[in-house]
Chains A and B, each alone.
Chain A
Amino acid sequence: MTLLEFARGPGMQWALVIFLVGVVWRLVGSFLLARNRDLSKPKGTAYAKAGVRAMIMRSIPPHELEKNIQFQHLSGYAWHLGFFATLLLFGPHVPFFKQFLGFGWPTLPNIVVLVIGGFTLAILIALLIRRAIHPVMRQISTLDDWISVFLVIIPLVTGFLSYSHVEIGAVRYETMLALHILSIEVLLVWFPFSKLMHMFYTFPSRYQVGVAMERKGVKA
């Protein structure tokens, strides 16, 4: 079995299974966590409104901090959008999703995806370097942070190398494509057990904070 056959065969199968088992396990586990009953008298009861408001407001930098976190904020948005644009709007990627969903969608010309992907990769590398040299960032970075950033960068790098059809020693396109698919599979396996779970947690937790604050009568 060649590397590509493994990547398109058992590799893909197991990565998807592990991803799903892990994600559902963690979601069920965390949503059903036992919480102590709050016995205080609620100071506000517009929970849904407060929850939705928090989901929106916490996605925008607070005015007081705007200057300090502008770079982080914008670069964060930029690479997230770039990553998903590259993932979803590159023609050859669509059949991957089509196999699950049964339908596809229009895509962008390769040159546009290349530019977006290039920017995304550049931002991610800049953020990785910043994490390495910024004294505060270095202090608060965990192994999870390092591995997660690394695993998000690798598919982009292997994707570019696959696309360009360069031969690096004995590694030709078919092997590079296999490495590209495998890099996604590793990302899928790592996903449920890492901070990448924020993809599912971010908005529910913001909602939850909004509800808690409403109950306490805090406008946040």
Chain B
Amino acid sequence: MSTGDANDSLRSIGVKVEPVSPDDIDAFTLNVLPLLHEVRHALERLLETGEPTVIDMGSIPLAPGEFEKIDGALGTGEVRAVLESMGPSQIYETQFSGVWRITHFNAANEIVGRFIEVTRMPEILLAQETDVRVGLDLLTRKLSGESD
């Protein structure tokens, strides 16, 4: 049998791809609502006590499509930042002020961590003590001409 015949006979196998019905999608999305409630409680806590909350999205058994549903429900807000350190990290505020989505990538652009942070400002965006010291040191040296 030539390869052409083989391809034809493969094509003759009826492949049927069925779209998932809306009912079934709902069955898969059991995690979305509880997670949004968790975020709501975290926001309340932030207002009352100032205590921030971090939710590791890698610790939840998400069904196919749920991840997108959660992100869709959170939406996007006013702030968007990109951190470049050991690979990129995307940080943005969702439509609910105080609720942030953080995705860390490694140098190969693979996701290594996905978090929802409920806080006024994600700590990773703040300039860090040690980094400021390094920067101060560098600037001082530059100004005194040592770095040339």
The reply to whether A and B meet directly (CB within 8 Å) is no
Interface residues of A (CB under 8 A from B): none
